[in-house]
Amino acid sequence: MVQDIYTAVIEPRFAETDMMGVVYHANYLIWCEVARTGLSKHLGYSYSKIHEDEVIWPVRRASLDYRRPAIFGNRIYVKTMIRTFSGVRLIYNYEFSDEEGNLLATATTEHGATNSDLRVINLYKVDPEMAQCLDCYVKICKEQENK
C-alpha cells in the first residue's frame, strides 16, 4: 500500500523554452499529465489498464498560478496530490518546485469519471478496488496537508 505523496521529476527540454531559456507556460499542463500518469503507476494502476477497463478521466477544468519561472537545465519537481475524490469527480493539486525547493507554480485540474462513450460513471461501482486506492491516497494527502 502506498504511504507517501508522489512527486514527478521533470527535465525541461530546450524545445519547451523560449529564447531566454524560460519554460513556456503551457508546458505546465503537459507536466500535470505526466504527474497524473506517474501517480497512477505509483498507486499500482497503469493508464493502459484503466483504459482497458473503459474508465476515462476527461479534464473539466484546469487552473495555474505562476510564481517564478522554470528554467532550462533545472529539474522541476511536481508534487501531486488528490484534493477530492467522490467516485464521479477527481480534483488534483500540483506544486511545481525547483531543485532548491522554490515554489514555481501551483495548479489544479478537475476530472470527471466517464466510460469510453463519455457517459458519467461512478468508480465505486465500476472499479471499487481503484476507488478504494484513490480514497486511501486522499487520506495520505490530507495527513500531509495537516502536518
List 89's β-bridge partners, or say none: 112
Which cell numbers hold the place of 134? 484513490
98 is annotated as an active-site residue = no
Pick the catalytic residue from 4, 18, 98, 127. 18
Q: C-alpha angle with apex 37: 33 to 53, nearest 5 degrees?
A: 115
Q: What CA–CA distance (Å, rounded) separates 31 from 22?
A: 15
Phi-psi region of 65 (alpha: psi -120 to 50; beta: other; left: phi over 0): beta
Q: What CA–CA distance (Å, rounded) separates 79 from 64?
A: 14
Q: Which amino acid is at 33?
A: E
List, by residue number, the catalytic residues: 18
